[in-house]
Chains A and B, each alone.
Chain A
Amino acid sequence: MSNSQPNFAVKPKATDYSLPFRDKLWRQFVIGLPYFWLLLFFLAPFGIVLKISFAEPIVALPPFTQLFDFSDSASRWVLATWDNYRFLSEDNLYWISYFKSIKIAAISTLICLLVGYPMAYGIARASPTTRNILLMLVILPFWTSFLLRVYAWMGLLGKNGLLNSLLMNMGLIESPLQMLYTDMAVYLGIVYTYIPFMILPLYATLEKMDTSLHDAAADLGAKPWQIFIDVTLPLSMPGIIAGSLLVFIPAIGEYVIPALLGGLDSLMIGRTLYDEFFVNRDWPLASAVATILLFIVVIPIMLFQRSHQEQE
C-alpha cells in the first residue's frame, strides 16, 4: 500500500525518461549519417551543376565563366545568366529529346509492368523451393556486367547477328532485318535491363497478400478475373508504383542503351547531355539540360510520396 501513496515532496524530473547522453549522441550520429551522405554526394554535386548551368561557356579550363566576381573591376558580383535555359526552351532539339525520353521510358515501364506482373505473380504463387530458384534467375543477370549484356544484345540483333542468321536459315526471311539501331532495340534493351526492378517490388507485395481475401471474393460471387480486378490489382498498387518508378526514373536518363542499341535519330536526353558535355564542350548548357531532367524525375517521386501518404 505504501508504494502507491503519491509522493508530493519530489516531482519526477522531465528528463527521467530520456536516454543517457552517450546514447543520444549515437542516435543522432546514426540518423545524421544518411543526411551527411546525401549532402556530400548528392546535394553538393547538384549545387555545382546548378551553378554551372547559370554560367556562360568559354574556351578555357574549366570551360565556363565563374558565377561570382569579387574583384574591384567587376560591375556586379553575381554573373548568373538565364541564357542556357532560354536557349533550351527555344531549340526544338531539346524538347524533342525530353519528349522522346519520357515516351521511351513510359512505354518501357508499361511493357515491364505487363511482362513483369504475371512473372511476379507466378513467383509469388510458386512453391517455396521453386520460388527461390525463380527469384535467383531474376537477379542472376546482375552478376554480369551491364555493358557486357548490352553488347551481347548487339551481337544478337546485328545484321549478321544470331537472330538474323537463324531466321534466314529457317527460310523465314531472305535478307537480314534491320533490328539493331532502331527504337525497338532500345525498348528491348531497357525492358530487358530494368525488368528485375519491376518484378522484385511486385513480388514483395503479391507474396505477402493474404490469399483468404481471394477466397472471400470468390465466396461472394467474384469470378477469377473479377477477383484480380477487385482485390489483387488494387492491393498490389504499392508494388506497381514502386516498380514503375524504379524502372521509369533510370530509364528516362538512360545513355548507354540508346547509344549502343539505338539509331542516330533515337535522341534520348542522356545522349543529348553527353553530346553537349563532350562533343560541344558546352558545360553550362549541358548542366541546364541535367537540371531540367532532375525536375522531370523529381515530380513523379513527389507524386508518389503524396499518394503514399494519402493511403496511410
Chain B
Amino acid sequence: MNIENEAKTSHLAKSYVAETPWLDPDAVPFIQIKGLSKQFDDFSAVDCVDLDIYKRELFTILGGSGCGKSTLLRMLAGFETPSNGQIIIDGVDMSNIPAYDRPVNMMFQSYAVFPHMTVEQNISYGLKKDKLHKNDIISRVSEMLELVQLSELAKRKPHQLSGGQRQRVALARALIKQPKVLLLDEPLAALDKKLREQTQFELMNLQYELGITFVVVTHDQEEAMTLSSRVAVMDAGKFIQVGTPTQVYESPSNRFVADFFGTINFFKATVISTNNQSSTITAELEKTGTQVQGKTDDSFSPGDEVTIAVRPEKISVSQQSPEGDHLTITKGIVEDLAYYGNRSIYRVRSHSGRIIQVSAQNYQRSEQLVLEWDDEVYLSWDSSCNVVLSE
C-alpha cells in the first residue's frame, strides 16, 4: 500500500519537474493576482500582493496565523472584496463577479458540511443550484461518491460520519462542479496524523487525475512541502518567498523563511573575501574564527555582517576527526540528545559556547546509543551546505 503510494508520488514528482511553467517566460498564468490588498480598518491583512499561478499547479500559501493567507483565499473565492488590486482567473477579471458566479470552489477548514442534509444532498447541492437535469445530477453524484469512496454512506447525515468522512464530503461537494480552481483552506488540519498522511496522497492523486488547479492554504510546513508544486511563504500580508519546496527549504531567501521551514542553525559571520566569478564568499564565524565558504547571488564586500545557516541534517557527527575537502569542521560536547528511532537529534555545545543542532540517521542497528551525553564529537559539513543570508 505504502510502496504503491510512494511509486505514485515519485511519478507525480517527475511530471512536476517536467511541468515547470513558471520557468517558461511565454507561459500564460491561469490565476493572476495583481497588487491585491485587503484593509480591515487600520490593519492591512493582505498588502499589495502579486502572484501568478499556472494551470494544474498545486500551489500552497504557507504562513502562521494572522499572516493574511486566509483573507487572500477568501478574496479568491469572492467572500471578501479586495480594497485594491485585481484577480484574474483564466483571463476573466473577477472584480465584479460574486462568489456564486465564480468558476471556483472551496473546501472549508471546518468543512462547512450542511448538517441538515444527507451526504448525497450535500454533494448534489452545487449542481442543483446550476439547475442541471435531474438525471445528470444523479449520475454525477454517484460518480463523485465513488471517487471519494462514500457510496455506502450516501444517505447518512454529517453527524453520523467521522472527521475523515466529513472531509471527503466537503471535498466531493467542492469538486462536483468541476471548478477551474479548487481552494482548500487547511485541508488536513482537522485530521489525525495517520489519516493526514493518507489523505495527503489521495489529494495529490485526485489533483493529478482531475487536472484542476489547487490553491491550498496551510500553516503546516510539512504539508506544504509534500503537497505542492510551488509554495508561497507569507508573513504580515506579504509574500516573503515564492518557489518550489526544495528552493524554499534549501535556499531560503531570508531568516524568516529559513526558520519557518524546519530547524536550522544560524551562525553570525563577517565576510573576509569575495569571489565574484564563482559568486562565492569566504566568511569568518563569530567567536571561533572558523572560516567558511558559501555561494550567494547577493553581492557582499569584505567586512559585511552575514548569517550562515546550516540545516541540522547536513551536519555529520563523529568521534573520529573527519577528512575531506571543502569541509567545515568544529568540535563540541554532546549536551542533549533525543532518540527518535529512525534518527537522533543531538544538541552539541561547540567550544565557542554555542549550541549546534544535528540530526543524524541511525544507520546501525544497536540497542546502545551511538553517542552518549558528554561525548566529545567532531561536527562537519560540506561548504555547499552553507546558506548565506544577508541579515
Contacts and interface: CB of A to CB of B under 8 A. Distances in A.
Given A226-B129, A234-B116, A235-B115, A219 B100 contact: yes
Contacts of B195: none
Interface residues of B, number: 26
Given A210-B110, A234-B116, A235-B115, A219 B129 contact: no
A218 B79 contact: yes
Given A219-B100, A221-B100, A221-B129, A210 B116 contact: no
A28 interface: no
Contact of B112 (A210, A222, A230): A210
A215 B70 CA distance: 13
Given A215-B79, A215-B99, A220 B125 contact: yes
A213 B100 contact: no
Contact of A212 (B99, B105, B110): B110
27 contacts: A210-B112, A212-B108, A212-B109, A212-B112, A215-B74, A215-B79, A215-B108, A215-B112, A216-B106, A216-B112, A216-B114, A218-B100, A219-B79, A219-B99, A219-B174, A220-B105, A220-B129, A220-B173, A220-B174, A220-B177, A221-B101, A221-B130, A221-B177, A226-B129, A234-B116, A235-B115, A235-B116
B77 interface: yes
Interface in A175-214: 210, 212-213
Contact of A219 (B105, B109, B113, B115): B105
Nearest to B130: A221
A135 interface: no
Interface in A217-252: 217-223, 226, 230-231, 234-235
B21 interface: no
Contacts of B108: 212, 215-216
Q: For the side of the interface on A, what is the size category?
A: 10 to 19
Contacts of A218: 78-79, 98-100
Given A219-B104, A221-B126, A222-B100, 8 more contacts: A213-B115, A219-B78, A220-B129, A221-B100, A221-B101, A226-B129, A230-B125, A235-B115
Nearest to B129: A221
Contacts of B104: 219
A223 B102 CA distance: 12
A187 B357 CA distance: 78
A226 B129 CA distance: 9
A309 to B, nearest CB: 15
A230 to B, nearest CB: 8
A208 B158 CA distance: 18
Interface string B89-130: 000000000111100111011101111100000000110011
B129 A222 contact: yes
A235 B99 CA distance: 22
Contacts of B116: 234-235
B173 A215 contact: no
A235 B79 CA distance: 21
B33 to A, nearest CB: 19
Nearest to B108: A212
B5 to A, nearest CB: 30
Nearest to B105: A219
Contacts of B79: 215, 218-219
